[in-house]
Structure 1
């Protein structure tokens, strides 16, 4: 298995993976297509095995007003036939060690039991606009004393609800 940054040539494979990993939802693939199409700054990686993209994750900017205050982890996906084999965990651990990620405040809307293993903690502040009471919103290296509603790239508001993203990557 090889981990590498996403190039333009892998994008169709990433979209196909997102469709397989989230059956019945077009939100994730539409989101990533919009992020790519808008030229949104992304930190994104794939796991490749035998020429096939088997896992993907991306980080986008998080905002306090108009100022970047960290990064959001979203989306993260693993091909169904590779789920529950540690592929997603390996990819996330790799990403967390990268220069562009390792010192940034990070946010994720997801399954607390899963993301806690990587150092994310439940957070009361900032508030997530897509999660009532921040029940599934977690952070790493964030200032809990700073009260605001964290902003997302505009593409996150398109399409269906982010509530579907609470599911843990398999």
Structure 2
């Protein structure tokens, strides 16, 4: 098993992985395709096992108004055949060590019990426009004293 940056010539494999990982939703695959079509900055890595893409992680810019204030982690996907084996956790740990990610604020809208294991904490501020009450909105390296609604790329 190896982890590497997603390359332009392997987008179809990553899109197929997103279809497998989220069989009841096409949102993640559409988001992935639209971000790439619009040329948005996306930091992304894949986990490959025997020439199969088995996990994927991406980070996009987070905004305070027009200014970049960090990154959003979304999505983190693991092929169902490989779930519950620690592969998603390993990929997340790897990604959080990369230079593009390691010294910035990271926001995630997800399962608190999962992300808290990696140092993410639930945050009241900033506000997440997709999570009224911020019940599932967490951050890593966040300044909770800044009051604003965090922005996403328009494709979200």
Q: If the length of structure 2 is used for normalisation, what is the TM-score?
A: 0.99
Q: CA RMSD in A?
A: 0.4
Q: Give the aligned partner of residue 162 of structure 1.
A: none
- Deviation of 1:10 after TM superposition, in Å, equals 1.3
Q: Greater share of helix residues, 1 or 2?
A: 1
Q: Give the aligned partner of residue 96 of structure 2.
A: 96
Unaligned runs of 5+ in 1: 157-170
What is the alpha-carbon distance in structure 2 between the residues aligned to residue 34 and residue 133 of structure 1? 28
What is the alpha-carbon distance in structure 1 between the residues aligned to residue 23 and residue 52 of structure 2? 18
- Deviation of 1:8 after TM superposition, in Å, equals 1.2
Q: Give the aligned partner of residue 108 of structure 2.
A: 108
Structure 1 runs, 4 residues or longer, greater than 2 Å off:
none
Deviations, residues 28-49 of structure 1 (Å, cap 9, x unaligned)? 0000000011100010000001
Size of the aligned set, in residue pairs, is: 156
Q: Give the aligned partner of residue 167 of structure 1.
A: none
- Deviation of 1:106 after TM superposition, in Å, equals 0.5
Q: If the length of structure 1 is used for normalisation, what is the TM-score?
A: 0.91
Q: Give the aligned partner of residue 48 of structure 2.
A: 48
What is the alpha-carbon distance in structure 1 between the residues aligned to residue 140 and residue 18 of structure 2? 25
